Every structure is written in C-alpha cells, then in structure tokens.
A and B are shown apart, each in its own frame.
Chain A
Amino acid sequence: GEDVEQSLFLSVREGDSSVINCTYTDSSSTYLYWYKQEPGAGLQLLTYIFSNMDMKQDQRLTVLLNKKDKHLSLRIADTQTGDSAIYFCAESMVRDDKIIFGKGTRLHILP
C-alpha cells in the first residue's frame, strides 16, 4: 500500500541544524518532495528530488535519499525562527501521477 510516515514533532535551538525524517513505502515513486506550511497558509514547495538521486543541496536545505531503506530526510542548516512551520514529505507515483503526503512534522524553534 501507499504510505508516507513522519515523526510529528521536532524541537531545535535557533542556529542549530534541523533534520526531519520521512519513510515511504512505494518503490515506484518518481519524485519525493518537501513542502512547508505556515499557519493559515497553503503548502509551499521547498525542494524535491528525483528518485534516482542520492542528495540534493539548495542553500540551507539538504535532501538525502536512501532508496534501499526508503528513507528521505531534510536538513535545514542554521535554523532560524522563520523556519518554524509544519514540514510535509510527499511522494509521487509513476503509475498514476498521484501525490501522497505524510502527516507533517511540526518544527519548533527554541531561543
């Protein structure tokens, strides 16, 4: 079946790195995404990685993909108060172009 799992909560000190983890079940996924949702807003695409890649870096964001373990992570370097939000992992399916979301990880920034 199709399922995307994330831990629900992460607390990090300002200036430290945040690492948000995700596992998925469908080995036929084409792309894996990270979206950010701030209060009262829709989902904002942060970054995405094609399933034949291992890593993608974009400024403070680093995405790591372990295809063998079906594990995806998002690292945010030098975490700032503006990074406080809910982060959703999502996978797209080859067969039907459907995108499945996890339940989201709420990132809380400590001063």
Chain B
Amino acid sequence: EAGVAQSPRYKIIEKRQSVAFWCNPISGHATLYWYQQILGQGPKLLIQFQNNGVVDDSQLPKDRFSAERLKGVDSTLKIQPAKLEDSAVYLCASSLGGGGSPLHFGNGTRLTVT
C-alpha cells in the first residue's frame, strides 16, 4: 500500500510571498489532516477534512492560510502572504475515519520563510 505523498519536500521563500503544498492521501482514506509542526513542538492541527468537507478549521489562520480538498482525494494547503513565524514542517495525514482510526503521515514539507 502506498503511503501518504507530499510535495515539495523543502521550500524556501521570502516573507510576503505565497506558497502551496500538495498532499495525496492513502487510497480509500476518507479523512485528511494538515498539521503544522514548529521545531521542538508536537504537530498542531490546522484543518481536518472528511471527504471534501471541512470538519475542523478552528486553528487555521484564515487571513493567510487556505486549504481545499477537491473531489475528496488530493488536497492543497496555501499560505498567502507568508510570515517568518510560518517556518515549520507541514505534515499531511490521512485515516479511514471514524473513532480511533490511526493517522498515517506523509514525510512533510519543510518551509523556511526568510
């Protein structure tokens, strides 16, 4: 079974620029998550999709971050404009959904904002 795919692996941008990350979840996984992991911290949930609907985006800074999951499969996360404090690893995860389904993570995209 193929795992969660993310691209790019690394991205360096200047502040106020835009950036987009892409995620392809495990086939058949209904739930998709975007997490932000700042160095030295645990992952923080940004947004959770169930199929193509948003379940939770309470921690997403909506003035600059947006995410979509068209057709309930792939997802993109965009930051526009980026700030220095957005430097982090952005992790995508997927699960079958339903209580207790473990999350399967991609390798993440490391974003550096200069």
Contact = CB atoms under 8 A, between A and B. Distances in A.
Q: Do A and B bind each other?
A: yes
Interface stretch (B11-19, B61-69, B74-82, B97-105): B97-105
A103 B102 contact: no
Interface string A75-111: 0000000000000100010101111111110000000
Given A44-B105, A88-B42, A103-B41, A97 B91 contact: no
Nearest to A93: B99
B100 A30 contact: yes
Contacts, number: 59
B20 interface: no
Interface residues of A, number: 25
A42 B91 contact: yes
Interface residues of B, number: 25
Interface in A1-59: 4, 30-31, 33, 35, 40-45, 48, 50
Contacts of A41: 107-108
A13 B40 CA distance: 23
Nearest to B107: A42
B103 A97 contact: no
Contact of A94 (B42, B91, B99): B99
A97 B98 contact: yes
A54 to B, nearest CB: 17
Nearest to A44: B105
Interface in B38-56: 40-45, 48, 55-56
A43 B99 contact: no
29 contacts: A4-B42, A30-B100, A41-B107, A42-B4, A42-B91, A42-B105, A42-B106, A42-B108, A43-B91, A43-B103, A45-B103, A48-B100, A50-B100, A88-B42, A92-B100, A96-B55, A97-B31, A97-B48, A97-B55, A97-B97, A97-B98, A98-B45, A98-B48, A99-B45, A100-B45, A101-B44, A102-B42, A103-B40, A103-B41
Closest 10 CB pairs of A and B: A42-B105, A101-B42, A31-B100, A43-B105, A103-B42, A42-B107, A45-B102, A30-B100, A101-B43, A30-B99
